[in-house]
Amino acid sequence: MDAKTIADASFRADRKAAHAKKLKLIADQLLNNSSKEYLRYIKSCTGNTFHSVSNGPVYDLDKNLITENEKKLEIWNQHFSDLAKDTTGNSRDPSNWADITAALNDTPNNKAPGADGVPSEIWKLVMA
């Protein structure tokens, strides 16, 4: 083996070890309900906010790539409208957006996540 091959193998091993260490840290943060640190990790991966993720292109129902903002908004609107539909008939009182945003704004930051495991900071970022 030449020096370059050995150096490349060492570099890959170091990078794998660092990645494994980071994944263990993230798993520990999730298990210990350290939402502040977990949110900081998410922000480090996606930029300061979720705008870098949510501002990208999307696919429509026909699997066409859409990049125009107006059409993307229509696609997202349709997607979340479909998710909110009562397909089982069990919902008697429809939720309205004002109630949802008011409830999210009232949730405190830096607290343990609820039953879904998602910290309130994430929901607030998604809502914004």
On whether the CB atoms of residues 65 and 57 are closer than 8 A, the answer is yes
For residue 54, the model assigns a pLDDT of 62
Specify the pLDDT at position 106. 87
Residue among 69, 61, 34, 50 nearest 123 (CA): 50
Q: Is the pLDDT higher at 105 or at 43?
A: 105
So what's the pLDDT on residue 14? 93
Q: Per-residue pLDDT tens for 10-58?
A: 999 999 999 888 888 877 777 777 777 777 777 777 665 555 456 788 8
What size, in residues, is the chain?
128
pTM of the model: 0.35
